[in-house]
Structure 1
Amino acid sequence: MTRSPLATLVALVRSVLFTLAFYLGSLVIVPLVLLTGWLFPRQLLFLGPKLWAGWFYWCARWLGGIRLRVEGTIPQGPHLFAIKHESAYEAIMTLWLFDRPAVVMKAELRAIPVWGAASARHGSIWVDRGGSATMLRAMMKAAQGAVSAGRPVVIFPEGTRVAVGQAPALAAGFAGLYKMLKLPVVPIALDSGTAWPRNFIKYPGVVTLRVGDAIAPGLPRDVIETQVHAAINALQHPDRPIAKVVR
Structure 2
Amino acid sequence: MNNMITALRSLAFMLAFYSGSALLVFSALLAAWPLPSAVPHIATVWSRFHRLCARWLLGQKVRIEGELPQGRYLYIVKHESMFETIDLLCLFDRPVIAAKRELLDMPAWGRIARLYGLIPIERSAGASAMRTLRAAARAATDQGRAVCLFPEGTRVPHGEAPPLRAGFAGLYSLLGMPVVPIAIDSGRLSPRGKFMKRPGTITYKVGEIVPTGLDRREAEARVHAAINALNAAVPSEIFKPGPEGADA
TM-score under structure 1 normalisation? 0.86
Aligned partner of 2:20: which letter?
G
Distance 1:59 1:111 in 2: 29
Q: CA deviation at 1:52?
A: 0.5
Q: Does 1:131 align with 2:124?
A: yes
Q: Does 1:150 align with 2:154?
A: no
Distance 2:200 2:102 in 1: 30
Closer, same or farther: CA 190–219 of 1 in aligned 2, 3 Å:
same
State the secondary structure of the residue aligned to 2:113: helix
Q: CA deviation at 1:205?
A: 1.2
Q: CA deviation at 1:186?
A: 0.4
Q: Does 1:234 align with 2:229?
A: yes
> Contact 1:188–1:212 (CA<8 Å) still a contact in 2?
yes
> Contact 2:71–2:141 (CA<8 Å) still a contact in 1?
no
Query: Match for residue 60 of structure 2?
Result: 66
Aligned partner of 2:124: which letter?
G
Query: Match for residue 94 of structure 1?
Result: 88
> Contact 1:14–1:64 (CA<8 Å) still a contact in 2?
yes
> Contact 1:76–1:99 (CA<8 Å) still a contact in 2?
no
Distance 2:156 2:214 in 1: 26
Distance 1:179 1:127 in 2: 15
Q: Identity, % of aligned pairs?
A: 45
> Contact 2:65–2:205 (CA<8 Å) still a contact in 1?
yes
State the secondary structure of the residue aligned to 1:19: helix
Q: Does 1:215 align with 2:210?
A: yes
State the secondary structure of the residue aligned to 2:186: coil
Q: Does 1:35 align with 2:30?
A: yes
Closer, same or farther: CA 122–219 of 1 in aligned 2, 3 Å:
same
Query: Match for residue 177 of structure 2?
Result: 183
User: Could you give the per-residue CA deviations for residues 98-118 of structure 1, whole angstroms, max 9, x where no partner exists?
Assistant: 112110123333355533321
The CA RMSD measured in Å over matched residues stands at 2.0
Distance 1:50 1:33 in 2: 11
Query: Match for residue 103 of structure 1?
Result: 97
TM-score under structure 2 normalisation? 0.85
> Contact 1:85–1:162 (CA<8 Å) still a contact in 2?
yes
Distance 1:234 1:202 in 2: 22
Aligned partner of 1:153: which letter?
V
Distance 1:187 1:104 in 2: 15
User: Could you give the per-residue CA deviations for residues 173-197 of structure 1, whole angstroms, max 9, x where no partner exists?
Assistant: 1111111111111000110001001
- Residue ranges of structure 1 left out of the alignment (5+ in a row): 1-5, 239-247
Query: Match for residue 78 of structure 2?
Result: 84
> Contact 1:31–1:114 (CA<8 Å) still a contact in 2?
no
> Contact 2:39–2:112 (CA<8 Å) still a contact in 1?
no
Q: CA deviation at 1:46?
A: 2.5
Q: CA deviation at 1:150?
A: 3.0
- Residue ranges of structure 2 left out of the alignment (5+ in a row): 234-248
Aligned partner of 2:214: which letter?
L
Query: Match for residue 121 of structure 1?
Result: 115
Q: Give aligned pairs, total.
A: 231
Distance 2:155 2:36 in 1: 34
Query: Match for residue 225 of structure 1?
Result: 220
Q: CA deviation at 1:45?
A: 3.9
